[in-house]
Structure 1
Amino acid sequence: MTEAIGSAASARVAWIAGVGASAGLGAALARRFAREGLRVAVTARSRERLDAIVDEIRRAGGQAYALPADVTSESELAEIARQLADHGTLEVAIFNAAGMTRGPTLELSAAEFEAAWRVTTLGGFLFARASLPALLAAGRGSLLFTGATASLRGRPPFAAFAAAKAGLRSLTQSLAREFGPRNIHVAHVVVDGGIDGERLRASAPQYVAERGADGLLNPDDIADAYWHLHQQPRSAWSQEIDLRPYNESF
C-alpha cells in the first residue's frame, strides 16, 4: 500500500478521503492542494479510480499516492494515518465521503438508513480520530468537511442522507470548539446546489442542461474555497461557509 516518493523530511501532506471520478469534487480537491506543493494522499474504496487521479496529478508535476480504504473501518484509517508519517507532515485533512442514500421514508430499510450514517457521520468521526493526532503533533493544521444542503434541512426523499449530514455538521462544531484552541482549524463547507461532475451529468443530464451556464457548482471553484479556508489566518477563522451558484434559491 505504501508508495515512497522522494524525501519526506520537509514534505507537507494533504489527506483527502472520498475521492472518486476525475470530474468530481474529491479529485478537484486533490489537484488543488497538489498544485500548491503538498503531497496528496487520496483515499476511497476504488483503487482503480484512485490510481487514475494519482497518475493525473503526477503527469501535471504534482505528488500524490493512493491509499485505498473504507472510511467506516477504524483499523484501515488508523493504518493509513500511520503510513502518512512516512510521506511527510500532515497539514490538512479533508473528509469528502458521503452515503448518498435516497428513497421514500416508508421504503427505506433500517440497513439503508444506517449505511448512510455509517459512511457520512461515523466515517467523519473516524477520519477525525485518525487525522487529529498528527495535526496536533505538528502544532497546526486544517480539518475540513464537506457538507450539503441536507446538512441544514431535511426533505424527502433524503431522510437518511439529511440525518447523516446533519450529524456530521454537529460533529464538526464539536471538533472546532475542542481543537480550535489547540490551533487546528476545523471547518464545514455547505455545498448548496448540484455539483457539475460525473455523477450528476450521468444521472440527470436534463437537469444539468436546464441549469445553464454557471448554474451548477464547478468542482474546481469549490476546491478553491477549501484552499482559502486552509489559508485563513487564525485571527479570523471560518467554522462554516456555504457555497451555491448565483441562480440557486435558498
Structure 2
Amino acid sequence: MSKTIAIFGFGPGLGMGTARRFGREGFRVAVIGRDEARARAHVAALAEDGVVAEAFVADLTGEADVGRVVDEVAARFGPIDVALHSAAADMSARSASTLEVDVAALRVPLELKLYSPIWMTRAIAPAMIERGEGALLFSSGLSEHHPQPYLANFGVILAAQRQYVRQLDLELRGTGVYVGLLNIGVLIGGSRAQISVDEHPELIPPGLELTRMTNDELGEQYWRLYTERDTVELDIGFPD
C-alpha cells in the first residue's frame, strides 16, 4: 500500500520540491494550503510529474481547521505516514529591528511557526505512536541560528519552535516516530520569498548575500532526514 505525506502550508518552493521527491518513491501527497485555487494548481503540476496528490484547504493558524484537515486527509488516504509543517509567512510580516518587536509583531510568527506545528503534532502524533511508525518534519529559517535584526520577530519564535522540536524528539525516541527539523538558510527556487527578493532586492539588508537552492534540492534534504534518521536537525546554506 502506498504511503502518504501531508504537507501543511504547501508552497511552490519547499512544498513542491518535497512532494516531487517523496512522490518519486511512491508516496501520495496531501497538498494542504489556505488558497484552494493554488492548492489545485499544485496538484495539477504534480500530476504532470506522475505524482498522486489531492488538494485540501485549511487555515493553519486555527486549531480547529488543523484538526479537521487531518481527519479529511486520513479519510481520503488512510493513515498519514509523514507530516511536514512548512508554512511560511509573507516577508511583509517581519519586524525591521529587534527594538521594534512588540506583542503584536509576534502574533503572525507565533501562530504560523509555533502554535500551528504544535496543533499538527497533537493531531497526528498519537496515531503514529500507536502504529509504532511515522515521521514529523518541520521547517525553520536563518534568523534563529544567525540573528538577523530585519527578521527579529521570527528569530524569537523560531528559537521557541526549535526547542519544542528538540523536546519532542527526546520524548518520541523509541516509539518508532522520527522527528526532524530542517534549518533553511537559503532562498528556495520557486518560492514566494525568492520572487519577492528578486522583485524587491531592498528587502534584504545591504551586504547580505543569500545562497540559492532549488526546491528539488531542498526536497532531497527532507528525504535524507526521513530515510537516514541520524540527526534531529539539519542546517542548509548557513554561512561559515
TM range (shorter): 0.7 to 0.9
Counterpart-to-counterpart distance in 2, 1:163 and 1:80: 28
Per the alignment, residue 190 of structure 2 pairs with 197
State the distance in 2 between where 1:153 and 1:131 align.
Answer: 31
> CA contact under 8 A between 1:154 and 1:163: conserved in structure 2?
no
Q: Larger deviation: 114-123 or 99-108?
A: 99-108
Specify which of 72, 85, 89 is matched with residue 61 of structure 2: 72
Cα distance between partner residues in 2 of 1:215 and 1:165: 20
The aligned amino acid for 2:51 is: G
| Deviations 1:194-239 (CA, angstroms, capped at 9, x unpaired) | 223342443222869x999x9412211111111121112xxx6211
The normalised TM-score by structure 2 is 0.87
CA RMSD of aligned residues (A): 2.4
Q: Residues 199 and 81 (structure 1 numbering): CA distance in 2 closer, same or farther, change over 3 Å?
A: closer
Question: Aligned equivalents of 1:96 and 1:32: distance in 2?
Answer: 15
Cross-structure match for 2:78: 88
Deviation at 1:171, TM superposition (A): 0.8
TM-score between the two structures when normalised by the length of structure 1 = 0.84
Q: Deviations over 1:67-114 (max 9, x none)?
A: 111112111111122223221222111111133532234445532322
Distance in 1 (CA, whole Å) between partners of 2:60 and 2:48 is 27
Any conservation in 2 of the 1:189–1:243 contact (CA below 8 Å)? yes
For structure 2, the 5+ residue unaligned runs are none
Of the three residues 8, 31, 34, the one matched with 1:17 is 8
2:31 is matched with: 42
**1:104-158 deviations in whole A, cap 9, x for unaligned?**
3444553232221111111111111112123223210111111111232433121
Once the two structures are TM-superposed, the CA of residue 39 in structure 1 deviates from its matched residue by: 1.0
Q: How many residues align?
A: 231
Counterpart selection for 2:239 from 212, 227, 249:
249
Compute the displacement of 1:167 (Å).
1.1
Structure with the bigger RCO (C-alpha within 8 Å, sep 6+) is 2
**Cα separation, 1, equivalents of 2:20 and 2:69:** 20
- Counterpart check, 1:184 vs 2:177: yes
Residue of structure 2 aligned with 1:63, choices 52, 60, 64? 52
Identical positions, percent: 29
Partner of 1:231: 227
Q: What secondary structure does 2:186 align onto?
A: coil
Q: Is the 8 Å Cα contact of residues 20 and 49 (structure 2) preserved in structure 1?
A: no
Whole-angstrom distance in 1 between the partners of 2:232 and 2:97: 32
What is the distance in 2 between the residues matched to 1:74 and 1:215? 34
- Stretches of 4+ moved more than 6 A in 1? none
Shift of 1:164: 1.4
SS for the counterpart of 1:67 is: strand
Name structure 1 gaps, 5 residues minimum.
1-9
Task: State how far apart, in whole Å, the 1-side matches of 2:216 and 2:49 are.
Answer: 15
